[in-house]
Chains A and B, each alone.
Chain A
Amino acid sequence: MAPLEPSIAVQDSDPNAQLIDAFVVPTDTGSAVLIDADYGRLDAVAGPFQIALYSRLPLSMGELAVIRARVEADLFTHAVRTATEGRRWVLALLMGLLELGTVGVLLAFLFLNREPVHAVVAWAAPLGFLPGVLHAWRAVTRRRAGASARATLEVGELLPTIAVGRDGESLARLRDLWRNINQPNEPRDLMRLERVARTRVRWPEAARFYRALAAAPDAATPPGRLAWLRALARRRGSAPQPLTHLEARSQ
């Protein structure tokens, strides 16, 4: 039986594509994929989405397919979460103003009719009305991100092909990160990676990514009957392997 065709071709980016930058960055145990893209700024109406991959390691087609699926999940999960934000923001703004007016009238009433119990209510009233005002503020400030998410759900599509990242600045940042990490006699832990990303490479997204990795529970050694064996393998497996983690996450 004839084998199925590979699904992914690595090529130059589509001229109309909205590029989502994916970087293969070093970690303490190997490497991981960092998605450095603000999904709120993508414009699905202008063209389809495409992953622009920056990697100093050779990746197999299967690894690319996994990266593509994880990015697609991340992108559309984010879009579903964000799609309700800023919808009917004028109404939300009116409701916020109504709440502000209500709390204003209430505070004026409490001020004019001073009683001991009113003092407590006067302090608590702003807290009670704060959520509504914050909701209105969020609806107004996030209306563009919400509109972008709704457009992503309506017409957005992630192209099956993956483009080779060509942006000079991004390539330089990735090269500097790997160069700083691969210095001999230096520990390769997440704290140092974060410091290098923040101070030497000046890449705040990468620094946040390493901080998030360090804060995440150790998924590589969960409790279970084979935990001791896995922990042993982790201690022995000091040599870095390509792509030990595939973490697709938005920043």
Chain B
Amino acid sequence: MTTQTPEHGPLLEVRNLSVSFPVPGGKLLRIIEDVSFSIARHEVFSIVGESGSGKSVTMMAVMRLLPEGAVVTGQVLYKGQDLLTMQPETLRRIRGSGISMVFQEPMSSLNPVLRIGPQIAEIIDIHHPGQTDAALRARVAELLGLVGVPSPEKRYDQYPHEFSGGMRQRVMIAMAIANEPDLIIADEPTTALDVTIQAQVMEVLRDVRAATGSSMVLITHDLGLVAENADRVAVTYGGRLAEQGQCRDVFAHPAHPYTVGLLQSVPDWRAPIDRELAAIPGQPPNPTNRPAGCAFSTRCPIARDSCTDIRPELAPVADDHMAACPWTRPGEAAMAPPRASLPPRPALSQAEDVLRVDGLRTHFALRTGWFGPRSAVKAVDGVDLQLRRGETLGIVGESGCGKSTLGRTILDLIPPTEGRISILGAPNGSLRGRALRQARRRLQVVFQDPNSSLDPQMSVHEIVAEPLRIHGDYTPARVDELLGQVGLDASAGVRRPSAFSGGQRQRIAIARALALQPDIMLLDEAVSALDVSIQAQIVNLLMTLQRDLGLSYLFISHDLSVVRHISDTVAVMYLGKIVEYGARDDIFARPRHPYTRALLSAVPVLRPEDGAVSERVVLTGDLPNPANPPSGCVFRTRCPVARDLCAQKMPALTGQADGHRFACHFPQG
């Protein structure tokens, strides 16, 4: 992926772009401030930043797609013409033909009541009217084939809800390339997708770009995705550009303290795990209370007094490399705080089991139609687990693999169809009423979405007090103590959850889970919704709490790098079954199941030397319908090494003396 020199100046040039939104009270709130960059022909330019940094708003403003009321100033020159001031009719002719877009949510971005084919044909018809239906249909089928949608002729007449997430995003890409645009703007194109599907979609994007020679703007929060795909990168923070330049320069020699912190927050695949992650302290700025000077000054380790007042301009620090910080030079990593090492833990080998799951099945009855045959979705289909005191067991898998259903069944929120769950030796179903409620104290939960896991009508104090009140143990002092334990001030108690940022809300949820002094905490994607710098804070908090309180964690996640950092043992799930189970290093350094290998290789990595599997395996196809799983091995339909035997016989989860187990007839490595 080499940068090519522009043919005649830049393709798109953004000059001093600022965006403000009106807020109640008639004021304007500035969201984007003075952003400038340019995109050359044929290059991939990435805008990377955390949520709320303004990366999506920037490109929406460029295309004049912001909601009515937004005030946009500056210049956006596309081949020398200003998109911001041109006639709407002229702009309309550029949209979809010169510049096209791919959005984050492929389901809501497609019209639910129109067939797929006509939705793609529409973009051709707008810009090249007068073609016959047959010609349009043929061209659409060709495009669908190009982006890897199987049997395009049949798919033409289907509706969006009949497509999987990955297939819908392929449709969006087909639409975007239909008129061979100069520029494709891809706004978090794979964020809603699973990692193996993400790998497929990114491959499609690379292929179509190679075929059409378009430039691309890749908006993302995923640094690994940037490192693997972009030529040049701009890092946004608090509505401004913190740094921009050649991708390899910025990642190898970051100049802005924020970029340094951001890169270090990403769990390092090689780092020893007895150390904390390098989190950026504090909370991201909110447009309403941004400092007048540098937006990062409140969290910056090298900030000086003047930083809060004087806004630093983006200035060159090296050839084609600019940073908005007057105090650093590229590659100066000295400002990174030293990582604290975590206190050692007692050996796990002697520890008792706090949780045992044997032969667990959770099936959901399903009837197709009113008189249709009964069938069952086998969400969890024969799972065995052991969790020892003080251990973290990571459960990884993509959406639909049953990991969340497994968690909810263990929590007794869903009744199991079959099998045994013993918590501290007490099997499920053996307790009723008050005794059951007492037993439930031993196992507490932190969910993914901090918006949904805290009752919006309750104060933070009441939220943390709730478990104590249920069991009649409430004292105000205990609530304050719990808030302190997760790094929040007792004064936070009077406010509602809506006053807090995502990371702080997750701290509140952790405080509530700790209230009953549980032995086990089930962390269901507990850090997945958080930005990487905040995620590192919460991971550090969880690891410290585990050592201080002797907690055992069941850590359910789709994020492999976080699982690697936090887990002692890892179970990989696919379609309701555990396909590989073993010590962390067995799974990450010596994976044996082809699915584990594909999963690991699909994760975009920040540092090319990272990753356990050197060759990339891109899985073909989608996850099979869980109501109608394949015969034999459930993975065989997508497996690169499947043979006849796999269709006939389901492999058992067996393995080696060291406890590393895998369910494959033809293990790799």
Q: Are A and B co-members of a single complex?
A: no
Interface residues of B (CB under 8 A from A): none
Interface, chain A (partner B; CB < 8 A): none
